[in-house]
Amino acid sequence: MSAAVIAYDPNNIFARILRGEIPCKKVYEDEHALAFHDINPQAKIHVLVIAKGAYVSMADFSIKASDKEIVGFFRAEGTTAEKLGVIESGYRLLANHGPNSHQEVPHLHVHIFGGQKLGRMIAVERQS
Ligand code: 5GP
């Protein structure tokens, strides 16, 4: 593991969703990923695709995951987008890693936003 990536916490909220300890509104599931609606949606469609493996973030995943897991995760993202019906209209993917991104849950996930015009790119905080 890169020294810059924190250790995985098996009690994070998404690990608990994967274990079925906390319910979710499922969109798609396969051996590599689970996709479900975000509890606090930031767009008309806001779905999270989370890895089945114990990875903190995309940085951690890209270092430690097998090729099979990486391919499986991104195929699951594509399948989820297709199930959501956003391929034609368009959608945005977002993956937070670390403090500057305000990553809230330390388990690899990608946000899928869609169902409406999303504006351009990101909002950046003012530097003090
Ligand atoms: P992050 O900031 O880590 O990229 O995003 C974490 C996301 O997880 C947030 O958009 C937040 O609303 C969502 N979230 C946090 N807890 C839960 C939960 O218990 N259930 C669901 N469905 N989403 C959650």
Helix (H) or strand (E) holding 14: helix 13-18
- Phi then psi for residue 101, to 5 deg, are -85, -10
Residue nearest to atom 13 of ligand 1 (CA): 38
Q: How far apart, in whole angstroms, are the C-alpha atoms of residue 113 and residue 108? A: 17
State the distance from the centre of ligand 1 to the C-alpha of 83, rounded, in angstroms: 20
pLDDT recorded at residue 1: 53
pLDDT at 126: 85
pLDDT score of 62: 96
At residue 123, the pLDDT reads 87
Per-10-residue mean pLDDT, the chain, length 128: 80 98 98 98 98 97 97 98 98 96 97 97 85
